[in-house]
Amino acid sequence: MPTDEEWSFHLNLRKNRPAYEHEQANYSLLRHLLAFSGKRVLDVGCGQGYLLSKLRKDNVIAGVDYIPDNPYRIPKKVVDLDRDRLPFRPRSFDVIICSNVLEHITRPLHVLQQVKTCLAPGGMAIIALPNEYTLRNKVDFVLGKPLVSHQIDAFGHKYIAGIGQWTALVAQVFPRFRRELRPQRERGIVGMASRLLSPMFPSLNTEQIIFIAER
């Protein structure tokens, strides 16, 4: 769980960065989600609940997160995924979202296994994960610049992985899945180099990996 100091920093970040809600919401997932109707939907690591707020009209929704704030007033349970199990019966949901969550916990495989258990037969898991091995991150590492995602606190990344590692992890739990690579929006020389090299080295220009997995 976050300390008081970490929690205060996190809240100030939300207040002072206009783009924060956009980043947390992860709009790239909405095109996969908005077509759902009449589904039981769980968001694991729902944050403030933005994605679920877009689905509540036509679906039965639920969320879990260790952050208690709930401005969208969604049905939400406070859960520490590093210590607790998902508080739902097996096969309870048709769709489970897990967006930019697994990198923040120490046992991502354990959480993926719980996600599969909570999915109904024929259900779908939508899993979004960051690629840590972009060209920008490599350049920053060489230059000795701190990587924000690697901050050592309750909100930093605890599991560092790229396209290959995440794909292998998901495949251990979900043999049937498809994968989408979302390019980064880097500008300048690094962005140009990333795009030029991406046909040979996709990880250099991939910001996010989205897995659509079936139960």
Q: What pLDDT, in 10s, does the model give residues 124-133?
A: 999 999 998 8
Residue 195's CATH number = 3.40.50.150
Most confident of 1-15, 21-35, 110-124, 188-202: 110-124
Please, which residues have CB within 8 angstroms of residue 149's CB and are 6 or more apart in sequence? 103, 130, 132, 156, 157
Mean pLDDT of the chain: 84
Q: Per-residue pLDDT for 183 more than 80?
A: yes
Give the mean pLDDT of 85-95: 96
- What's this model's pTM, rounded to 2 decimal places? 0.84
Give the mean pLDDT of 69-83: 93
- Within-domain flag for 187: yes
- Within-domain flag for 19: no
Q: What is the total count of domains within the chain? A: 1
CB atoms under 10 Å from CB of 24, counted, come to 16
In 3-state terms the chain splits into helix, strand, coil percentages (rounded to 5) of 35, 25, 40
What is the per-residue pLDDT for 34? Answer: 76
Name the residue among 128, 125, 134 with its Cα closest to residue 183: 134
- Within-domain flag for 16: no
Report the percent of the chain where pLDDT is more than 90.
56
pLDDT band (50, 70, 90) for residue 26 = low
- Within-domain flag for 17: no
- Within-domain flag for 181: yes
Q: Three-class SS of residue 91?
A: coil
- Within-domain flag for 13: no
Give the mean pLDDT of 128-151: 79
- Within-domain flag for 8: no
Q: Three-class SS of residue 121?
A: strand
Q: Which residue has the higher pLDDT, 185 or 70?
A: 70
The string of DSSP codes covering 144-163 is TPPPGGG-SSTTS-SS---H
What is the per-residue pLDDT for 35? Answer: 79
Helical residues (DSSP H) of 135-214, grouped into ranges? 135-142, 163-173, 188-197
Q: Which residue has the higher pLDDT, 15 or 191?
A: 191
Structural domain harbouring 111 = 24-214
What is the per-residue pLDDT for 149? Answer: 52
- Within-domain flag for 64: yes
